[in-house]
Amino acid sequence: MMKKRILIHGIAFSPDGVSTAYLYNDIALAFQKAGYDVSVLTTTPHYNVVKEELAKQPLEKQWLGLYYTSNFNGIKVIHVPQKKFKSTFLRILGFIYWHLLAIILGLSFKRFDAILSPSPPLTIGFINLLIGKIKGSKVIYNVQEIYPDFLIEQGGLKSKPIIEILKWLERFIYNKSDAVTTIDQVFYNTIVNRFEDKNKLHIIPNFVDSDLYKPLDSDSINLDTSIFVKNSSLKLMYAGNIGHAQDWEPLLESAKRLKDLQVEFYIIGEGVMKDYVIQKKSEFGLEKVHVLPYQQREKMPQLLAFSDLQFIFMSKEMEGHGFPSKVYTIMSCKKPLLVCSGENTPITNFLEPIGCAELIKSDLLENKVNGIVDFITNVSSTKLSQMGEKGYQVIQARYTKEKVTQQYVELIDKLIAS
């Protein structure tokens, strides 16, 4: 009996060190374990390039660098060159090059039974429909972020003709795909009326690698003690992209108010807002705000174990259109959360019934800061421990990689059999 074949087509995959890559690494391995012949079509690492990961999964130049190949646990990965160009013109050219070459390379493969890809970008869904039509493949589109809604609400997209084209393209992709998955009920409710056949839309949440992300005791922490000092301070931490998706003003204002107390803030990662955070730290004299470089993924459980409380402050523009996957990793390590996000946003709706997070929903800066400072100054270590335990139990019951990736396998098995 011939193996079923699946193409995973996305903008990020191993050895790129971003959350979407880690997510789809595990999805690819789940299909491989289920007996599928898996191929991956992606870009060269350009979001978060980690030298150690590149060394473990080296890229081999093909056709004088037209594209590259690598091997991920026995899975063939094809990488189309991409870079983070500062020039908008060069970014557009790179984007077009990626799509054109993806079509050529996708059509060069043997027939696939299914093609699976995450958004963004929206256009990847159109490319897959084209390849799927020619190859006779089922096409599954995974909505990780809702486009063009996100671009419109960010204020970066104002041209009415372009908005109308993207809205048409979005509906075309939804309705021509064989199935569409999205990550939570808020996303489902937002897009379900854009479908002619609502049965095509399925909720499959994101997940966590609970083998990696697990509670550690203090003896297991092996961090640089000159940076991560063990003392009696309450330690708040954010580890991830330091960008526009996060609201940094409430954090900085809260740190100003708490500067004379035993409270320390750790901000770990890279991103376009890092210089701004460093500048404000210096301007406000925030010696207990530590801004540190990106740390390897394997160190994250130790970093989480070192902290007492993890914070996520969502920006107004992003809070309705994204769900940070770090929520799962934090919960899986038995750590509580402090979250700023509005009413009925994906992160608020997910966390509220669990009781593992202090949620601050006000839109007003003063109310946010008051809520943050009040919680930090009054919460007990016992309360934080109880919150962490609640989150951990929910992860173990519903959001491990084994449980969730199986939902992808079952959905695509069903589509192929139909």
Segment 184-222, tens digit of pLDDT: 998 999 999 999 999 999 999 999 999 999 999 988 899
Between 99 and 296, the more confident residue is 99
Answer yes or no: is pLDDT of 353 > 80.
yes
What sign results for the dihedral spanned by CA atoms 7, 178, 121, 24? negative
Residue 121 has pLDDT above 70, yes or no: yes
Q: Order the strands of the 309-313 sheet from edge to edge.
A: 289-292, 263-268, 234-239, 309-313, 337-340, 357-360
Task: Answer yes or no: CATH 3.40.50.150 is held by domain 218-398.
Answer: no
Residue 230 to residue 96: CA distance in whole angstroms? 50
CATH tag, 5-206+401-417:
3.40.50.2000
- Phi and psi at 181, nearest 5°, equal -115, 150
Q: For residue 155, is pLDDT > 70? A: no
Q: What is the pTM of this model?
A: 0.88
Nearest CA among 165, 167, 172 for reference residue 139: 172
pLDDT score of 156 more than 80:
no
* Tally: H helices and E strands in the chain: 15, 15
**Cα(121)–Cα(258) distance, integer angstroms:** 40
pLDDT band, residue 322 (cuts 50/70/90): confident
Torsion angles phi and psi, residue 13, rounded to 5: -160, 165
pLDDT digits (tens, 9 = 90+) for 135-150: 999 999 999 988 888 7
Strands (E) across 288-380 are located at 289-292, 309-313, 337-340, 357-360
What tokens does 264 get? 């320390």
- On the question of a common fold for 5-206+401-417 and 218-398, the answer reads yes
- Alpha carbon of 245 to those of 4, 113, 272, 312, 324: distances in Å? 38, 36, 10, 10, 10
Q: Domain extents for the chain? A: 5-206+401-417, 218-398
How many other β-carbons are positioned within 10 Å of the β-carbon of residue 134?
Answer: 12
Tell me: pLDDT of 86 over 90.
Answer: no
pLDDT for position 87: 85
Residues 51-70 pLDDT 10s: 888 999 999 999 999 999 99
Write down how long the chain is.
418
Answer yes or no: is pLDDT of 153 > 80: no
Label residue 372 by pLDDT band (50, 70, 90). very high
Taking the CA atoms of residue 235, residue 23, residue 412 and residue 7 in that order, the dihedral angle to the nearest 10 degrees is 170
Distance CA 78, CA 62 (A): 10
Q: Which residues contact 50 (CB under 8 A, 6 or more apart)?
A: 15, 17, 294, 296, 297
Contacts of 87 (CB under 8 A, 6+ apart): none
